[in-house]
Each structure stands twice: as C-alpha cells, then as structure tokens.
Amino acid sequence: GLPRLRCVSLYAVGYNNVDVEAATARKIAVSNTPGVLTDATADCTMALLLAATRRICEGDAAVRAGAFEGWEPGYMLGMELTDALLGVVGFGRIGQAVARRALGFGMRVAYATDVAVAIDDDLIGRVTEMPLRQLISAADVVSLHVPLTDATHHLIDENALRSMRSTAVLINTSRGPVIDENALVRALREGWIGGAGLDVYEREPVLAPGLGECRNAVLSPHLGSATVATRAAMARLTAQNALDALDGRVPGNCINPSVWESAPPQPAW
C-alpha cells in the first residue's frame, strides 16, 4: 500500500514491530539506533535493581502514607548486593554494560546467551557463562537483555519463575513479552520470587491484571533510554539513517543490508 516507501527508520533498537522480511523483499531499508542508548538503559537497569532489592519504592510509599514509625532492626529488610549473583540473560552491548556496573557494586556476574558474542576485554575473566536454566535457578537477580523473537517470547514463563530462588529479583528492560506477565503476577503474589523491576510490559501500556497492586514490583514507564542526551542522539541517528537510505547509501545501522546487494536503491531525489 506504500509503493514509494524507501526506508523505515526506527527511533529504537528493537525492530520486532517491523516485518523485515517483507521490507527486504520490497527493497525497503530498515534501520535502528543501537549503541547510543546502551549506557542510559544500563543505568535504568541498575536503578530498578537497586530499587527492587532494597525495597525503595515500597519504603517511599510507607513514608508517604504515614506508616513509617521509626527505625527497627527488622523493618523492610532487603538484599545485600555484595557477593550476590547477577544473572544476565543476553550479553550484548547493554548486557555487558550492566555487568560492568554490577561488578562495581561487588556482585558476581554470570551470563547466558544463545548467540556468539564478543566479550569486552575489561570483562574477560570477571564474568562466567552459564546455561540459561542453571543461571535462572542460581541467580539472586536475573536481568533480561534479549531482543523479542519467537524464541524469546515468554522466555520467562511459569516454569522459569518457579525455578528461581524464592528471594530472587527479576529485572526487565528489554521487551515486555519476554516475560509471561500473568505468570509473573502469580509469582509475585504467591512468593515464588522475591520481587521484580520492570520498565517494559507485555501489552504496553496496559498492565496484566493485578501487577499494579504487587508491592514487591517496581514499575517504571519505559524509561530505559529516557535521558536528554540519549534521546537527542537517537533522534540524530534516526534522521541520518533515513537520509542515507533515501540518498542511496547503506545506513550505518541497517538491519537488512541485503537490500543493496543486487541493485542498490537509487536516490529518492
């Protein structure tokens, strides 16, 4: 229905909302904005991790409601991060940036990946690879950093949640449907896991019934890349990708460069 469409330039890293195969068949370039939002998303991940493990939002709500009656030795105890095991699921740019930050907090870091990745030099010897199921069952905190594909849809399902430690915290700044959100609500309510920190949702912006009432869940409104500098960099990259494609050049972040292999697109002007 759009015969003149030349490029889909995404203001995001994820491209699960574009039929890349259909675009490629029609010689439509698809591009995204990786790299520029790595640090911002990693920072957001650590913010959720800290808030969830130390029950910061729960405590904030108690103070605002007048329920805080003074310091007590056993009041609202959380998780000690030193020597705790962070399990990073997906170990690309963002996963490795999160690992680097977690190491700074004295955490041990393991990762699981189903694709070959190049480990940054500063992380070699400091992180351990584990099979996914072993990582999920062993980690004190599980942080998700995978793209949304058929293979990762509901990667964290009821079975995975039941296999986690009862004190474990689940963090997701990747894509909402990677988690079965209805199963997560049950896990939080029934104590299969200790808590969660979520920045993305399965049917965003709608939450699964009951999730908003789970006091052991920290919920942020898709703020992963939400810094002034990062959103500006994403805008510049989105525009440059589009200009490159329309001028007959391969965008620097082209998802389907095979569009250019047989007959490079002619400039649009």
Active site residues: 175, 204, 222
Residue type present at position 53: T
**Spatial distance between the Cα atoms of 84 and 68, rounded to a whole number of angstroms:** 28
What residues contact 59, with CB distance under 8 A and at least 6 apart?
Answer: 68, 76
Strand residue runs (E) in 134-267: 141-144, 169-172, 195-198, 217-219
**Spatial distance between the Cα atoms of 91 and 127, rounded to a whole number of angstroms:** 11
Burial (Cβ within 10 Å: 0-12, 13-18, ≥19) of residue 158? middle
**Spatial distance between the Cα atoms of 175 and 214, rounded to a whole number of angstroms:** 20
Question: How distant, in Å, are the alpha carbons of 30, 31, 243 from that of 19?
Answer: 9, 12, 21
For the stretch 142-154, what's the b/e string if a residue is b when 16 or more beta carbons lie within 10 angstroms of its beta carbon?
bbbbbbbeeebee
